[in-house]
Chains A and B, each alone.
Chain A
Amino acid sequence: MSLKSVLKRCAKFLVYGQPVVNKYVSVAHIDDNKLLAGKKILVTGGTSGIGLSVAKKIIAAGGEVIITGRSQDKLNNALKEIDSNNCKAIVFDIANITSIKSKFLDVVDLFDGKLDAVVSNAGIYKQKNFFDYTLDDYTRTMDTNFTGAFFLAQATIKYWLDNHIDGNLVFVSSERGIMSDVHPYGLSKVVCNSFVEGLAKQYGVNDIRVNAVAPGITATNINNINPDGNLWFDKRRIMRPEEIAEVVKFLLSDASKCVNGQIVACNEAYSVNMDC
């Protein structure tokens, strides 16, 4: 390094107060079945629907996964369905805010002290007439869909920062979070999307990536639609959970290393506003 460039850097540091950072990235070809090789990933709400599909995709791509759910029976069924040594399960109610920190440590222990990525997927869906929502409906939806995800993200990012891990956080949000809404479900997802962008901006410098998928109506048991049945409803197509899981897999992998703070809508352009 010449004296001139050293002086230039010193001047830059003095003027802007920021040290000059050199960063090098190499992009290699990644085989599909090794996309998540060696990665240890937590999937909340992994007993059914999108969460279960994501867990299956992770294992098929060579990763290890821990699924969480509220009931042991459902977890056992999911474990049986996945049928792999790379899948473990733990009972974890995300709506129980005070237990999140200790449960998170249990998850890290189960993974032998290393966690690479988290898929924050657990959510409930309850739709009523706007005038019929009670305080209980509101708080249950908000606690599960957002507050739990917030404190799980807090615990996770703290762990990644302390252990200098380039973590990867993927939220399963909803297209409802992109549009205006009066229902607690939609509002919880709005908050989620804003949170994803904020986290990405704040912790991008620490090489932590935060993204979200925003699926349209998806054929899961949250809305009792059979994925093998007719997938045309109300002038639009219903998504299959495997399709959403594919996008989550991409966001989890190093193939999407340059993607950060994005809400990827998976709804065939339904939420694209063409009216104005």
Chain B
Amino acid sequence: MKSLKILCHEKICLKIKEQLFFGGGTGIGKAITNKLLSHGSEVIICSRSKHEIEGAINEIWDVSDIGSIQENFNNIIKKYGQIDMVVNSQGILTHSDFLDVSPEEMELVFKTNIESVFFICQYAVRYFKNNSIYGHILNICSTEGLKGTCYPYGLSKAAAVRLTQGLGKATVRDGIIVNGIAPGATATDMMRQGDKHNWAPAYGIPSGRMCTANEIANAAVFLLSDAGRQMCGEVMVVDGGESLH
């Protein structure tokens, strides 16, 4: 994998609290970025705030502002040239009880977790097709999206899973590979917000621990590399056996 420009949305977190945490507190987006940089790729990170990752280019872009996606996408292509891969790792996790979910919370979670993914995929696929690029798209979904749920996070991820599968099927003939990863509970800043969710999930995981962001990044590198070209519409579960019945 040499000199590939990768558009990677850094994870967006609500109310990050600093505290010592299993796995070192790195987001999945950051871990994927570091892994890809170590494989010699060029990475452009798009996030709401500035992130200092050595070797990566940082662009400020709030993906929940759906109206600006097309403009931002075009600007980045104009500024940095050809893009070969797009990684959607943006996500918001909220912890409200079902009866307390407000329309505002619902809108924010859905805008960030699925609406932005839908439109970024739309522009990326169109761009790859028009320029005959054999591109890759990787959507970071969640195991929450593979099971029944009544919380906005899992519901938005359910749509992301099916979108990944649908797009994978629709675009593979054009040489565009769309895959996803469904991480289980992963030790990142996002999981840190709700205190009660800090350690408890580890009890339900057959492997006895949460995933680390690096483990998700390993799967991401495989799916983004040419080794995974025959995999399309695959949502790879990386969860230490958590979702097995």
User: Beyond A131-B126, A180-B233, A187-B118, is A98–B155 a contact (Cβ under 8 Å)?
Assistant: no
**With an 8 A cutoff between CB atoms, is B22 at the interface?**
no
A195 to B162, Cβ gap below 8 A? no
CB contact list, A156-185 vs B, under 8 A: 157-158, 161, 179-184
Tell me whether chain A's interface is mostly helix, strand or loop, or mixed. Answer: helix
Task: Say which size band chain A's interface belongs to.
Answer: 35 or more
Interface centre among A133, A154, A187 (most CB of B within 10 A): A187
A202 to B98, Cβ gap below 8 A? yes
Of A138, A151, A182, A196, the contact of B148 (CB 8 Å cutoff): A196
A154 to B126, Cβ gap below 8 A? no
Given contacts A142-B115, A154-B101, A191-B156, 7 further A-B contacts (CB under 8 A): A133-B118, A151-B103, A184-B118, A190-B162, A191-B158, A191-B159, A196-B148
**With an 8 A cutoff between CB atoms, is B122 at the interface?**
yes
- For residue B149, which residues in chain A have a CB less than 8 angstroms away from its CB? 194-195, 197-198
A residues lining the B interface (CB < 8 Å)? 97-98, 130-131, 133, 135, 138-139, 142, 146-147, 150-151, 154, 157-158, 161, 179-184, 186-188, 190-191, 193-202, 261
B159 to A154, Cβ gap below 8 A? no
A197 to B126, Cβ gap below 8 A? no
- For residue A198, which residues in chain B have a CB less than 8 angstroms away from its CB? 147-151, 154-155
B147 to A133, Cβ gap below 8 A? no
Kindly report which residue of chain B lies nearest to residue A199, judged by CB atoms: B150
- For residue A181, which residues in chain B have a CB less than 8 angstroms away from its CB? 162-163, 166
**With an 8 A cutoff between CB atoms, is B170 at the interface?**
yes
Kindly report which residue of chain B lies nearest to residue A187, judged by CB atoms: B159
Q: How far is the CB of A235 from chain B (nearest CB, A)?
A: 19
Complex Cα spacing A180 to B161, Å: 8
A197 to B98, Cβ gap below 8 A? no
Q: Could you give 25 example pairs across A and B, Cβ below 8 Å?
A: A130-B170, A131-B125, A133-B122, A138-B115, A150-B101, A154-B99, A180-B165, A181-B162, A181-B166, A182-B170, A183-B166, A186-B162, A187-B162, A187-B163, A190-B158, A190-B162, A191-B158, A194-B145, A194-B147, A195-B149, A195-B150, A197-B149, A198-B147, A199-B98, A261-B148
